[in-house]
């Protein structure tokens, strides 16, 4: 368990930060993972997948709905990061924090309540500034307190919580949500002088942490021994940031390119691009590969990944396990289409008008793992499935129901299948709990996955 928050440093003292830099290689697509499990620790099967990523961030909601664990957010996040480190100590682990919101389920909140003089206050009324947060976590209807970074004591307090996990070798960096200028509209409650002091204080907090992790604010990230992840490419005090909800469009591609030009570590988080697995990632991954530089990482997925399928969908074997190789040069644009080639022979193009990308891989799709005989024992004749269809665009065909089931088994997110006996040999994939219905010319079943799922 993490040390008591009460014992954390409240004055400026030197920290012996022990952290590692994220691994980076062009051998394959450089990827990262960022999520949490509301229901508690991830299963061994989920960790089998998560450990494939060289950089892992655990979000604030880790274990939020786990009533059997009375610990606060810090303990739950650190416990999950410890489980990741146990799998592979070379994975860079990132601790989630919010630079503005005093979330009530953190130990930080308990300590923060004891120091009313630390609270950000309205310039006119001197009342505490209260701001709303994500509804997933039932924030107080009146809003939450704000960390007033204009105060040195608050900066030291916030920094100490980030660095506390590094002492045990569990944390290699912190994700600083809301650290960009103007987040959560705090300026609406402050006059010009107080707003400037607050924002400058945030910058100083981020800058000091960047220095603690061996970096120089505003300078290239290379050579750092850990990472403080900010939110914007033009944000001061940082040398790393995440493009949240990275879209396959000109705006986000330019943000990525600006970060690379500055030598920053950049996470391109493509959000819902994971919904149907690899096919949904193509456009955002193509845009990423056009703009990526050294220490650029691609990720997808929701901030919450409760089920094994939620985790499985974030690792695309078809894309992440193919040879890539270093880029041969910067991308070149002609007639609105960007093009770039990589050492493996892979060629990428991205049309910034249609926002569509094409990845011409130099090697075929990696061979799927063998399907165990027990996986396809469920075959129901005259039955179809009504639950969510995730069949790739263009459809699939299989020579028989068993082959259709095997294709489903080796498709991330596919939990059941339907094979058409009407002569079309169509094969459909479904996810989620199967909803069966009677239907002629169909054979369907639920894929039986073993305890140790290989993806």
Residues near 196 by Cβ (< 8 Å), separated by ≥ 6? none
* Helix (H/G/I), strand (E/B), else coil: 60: coil
Asked if 375 contacts 349 with a C-beta cutoff of 8 angstroms, the reply is no
Query: β-strand 173-177 against 92-98: which pairing, if any?
Result: parallel
Identify the pLDDT of residue 14: 46
Condensed to tens digits (0 to 9), the pLDDT of residues 398-444 reads 999 999 999 999 887 788 999 999 999 999 999 888 999 999 999 99
Asked if 369 contacts 317 with a C-beta cutoff of 8 angstroms, the reply is no
Q: In what order do the strands lie in the sheet with 240-243?
A: 240-243, 265-269, 296-299
Q: 16: pLDDT confidence band, cut at 50, 70 and 90?
A: low
Least confident residue range of 72-86, 170-184, 276-290, 315-329: 276-290
Pick the CATH number of 5-320 from 2.60.120, 3.20.20, 2.30.29, 1.10.3470: 3.20.20
Given a cut of 60, is residue 11 above it in pLDDT?
no
Condensed to tens digits (0 to 9), the pLDDT of residues 35-56 reads 999 999 999 989 999 999 999 9
Identify the pLDDT of residue 451: 41
Q: In what order do the strands lie in the sheet with 227-229?
A: 33-35, 55-58, 92-98, 173-177, 227-229
Q: Between these two residues, 370 and 263, which has the higher pLDDT value?
A: 263
Identify the pLDDT of residue 452: 35
Q: 277: pLDDT confidence band, cut at 50, 70 and 90?
A: confident
- Distance between CA atoms of 425 and 143, rounded to whole angstroms? 56
Condensed to tens digits (0 to 9), the pLDDT of residues 369-396 reads 889 999 999 999 999 998 889 888 778 9
Measured CA distances, 125 to 4, 117, 190, 196, 201 (Å): 34, 15, 10, 18, 21
- Considering the chain, tell me which residue range(s) the CATH 3.20.20 domain(s) occupy: 5-320
Identify the pLDDT of residue 407: 92
Identify the pLDDT of residue 184: 95
User: Looking at the whole model, is its pTM more than 0.85?
Assistant: yes
Looking at the chain, the whole-number percentage of residues with pLDDT higher than 90 is: 81
Identify the pLDDT of residue 312: 86
Measured in Å, how far apart are the chain's first and last C-alpha atoms?
Answer: 32
CATH 3.50.4.10 assigned to 373-446? yes
Asked if 255 contacts 243 with a C-beta cutoff of 8 angstroms, the reply is yes
Given a cut of 90, is residue 331 above it in pLDDT?
yes
Q: Between these two residues, 169 and 294, which has the higher pLDDT value?
A: 294
Look over the chain and give the mean of its residue pLDDT values, rounded to a whole number.
92
Identify the pLDDT of residue 2: 37
Q: Between these two residues, 19 and 296, which has the higher pLDDT value?
A: 296
Given a cut of 60, is residue 235 above it in pLDDT?
yes
Measured CA distances, 445 to 7, 167, 406, 442, 455 (Å): 56, 50, 11, 10, 20
- Return the closest-CA partner of residue 416 out of 309, 281, 315: 309
- Considering the chain, tell me which residue range(s) the CATH 3.50.4.10 domain(s) occupy: 373-446
Asked if 209 contacts 172 with a C-beta cutoff of 8 angstroms, the reply is no
Identify the pLDDT of residue 15: 55
């Amino acid at each position: 368990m993490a040390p008591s928050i009460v014992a954390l440093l409240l004055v400026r003292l030197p920290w012996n930060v022990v952290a590692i830099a994220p691994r980076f290689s062009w051998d394959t697509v450089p990827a990262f993972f960022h999520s949490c499990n509301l229901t508690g620790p991830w299963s061994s099967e989920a960790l089998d997948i998560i450990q494939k990523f060289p950089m892992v961030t655990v979000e604030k909601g880790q274990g939020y709905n786990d009533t059997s664990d009375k610990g606060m957010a810090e303990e739950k996040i650190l416990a999950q990061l410890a489980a990741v480190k146990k799998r592979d100590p070379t994975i860079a682990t990132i601790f989630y924090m919010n630079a503005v919101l005093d979330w009530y389920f953190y130990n930080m909140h308990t300590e923060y309540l004891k120091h009313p003089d630390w609270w950000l206050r309205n310039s006119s009324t001197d009342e505490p500034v209260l701001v709303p947060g994500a509804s997933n976590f039932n924030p107080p209807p009146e809003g939450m307190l704000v960390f007033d970074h204009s105060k040195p004591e608050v900066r030291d307090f916030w920094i100490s919580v980030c660095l506390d996990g590094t002492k045990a070798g569990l944390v290699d960096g912190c994700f600083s949500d809301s650290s960009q200028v103007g987040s959560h509209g705090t300026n609406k409650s402050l006059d010009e002088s107080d707003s400037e002091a607050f924002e400058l204080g945030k910058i100083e907090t981020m800058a000091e942490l960047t220095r603690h992790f061996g970096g120089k604010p505003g300078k290239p990230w290379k050579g750092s021994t850990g990472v403080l992840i900010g939110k914007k490419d033009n944000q001061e005090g940082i040398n790393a940031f995440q493009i949240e909800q990275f879209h396959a469009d000109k705006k986000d591609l330019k943000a990525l390119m600006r970060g690379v030009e500055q030598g920053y570590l950049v996470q391109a988080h493509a959000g819902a691009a994971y919904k149907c697995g690899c096919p949904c990632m193509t456009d955002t991954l193509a845009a990423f590969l056009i703009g990526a530089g050294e220490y650029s990482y691609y990720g997808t997925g929701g901030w919450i990944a409760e089920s094994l399928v939620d985790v499985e969908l974030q690792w695309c074997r078809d894309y992440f396990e193919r040879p890539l190789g270093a880029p041969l040069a910067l991308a070149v644009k002609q007639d609105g289409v960007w093009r770039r080639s990589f050492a493996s022979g892979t060629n990428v193009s991205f049309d910034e008008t249609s926002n569509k990308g094409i990845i011409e891989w130099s090697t075929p799709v990696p061979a799927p793992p063998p399907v165990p005989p027990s996986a396809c024992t469920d075959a129901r004749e005259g039955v179809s499935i009504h639950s969510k269809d995730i069949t790739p665009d263009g459809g699939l065909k299989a020579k028989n129901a068993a082959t259709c089931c095997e294709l489903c088994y080796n498709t991330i997110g596919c939990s059941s299948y339907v094979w058409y006996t009407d002569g079309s040999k169509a094969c459909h994939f479904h996810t989620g709990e199967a909803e069966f219905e009677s239907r002629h010319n169909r054979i369907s079943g639920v894929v039986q996955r073993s305890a140790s799922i290989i993806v």
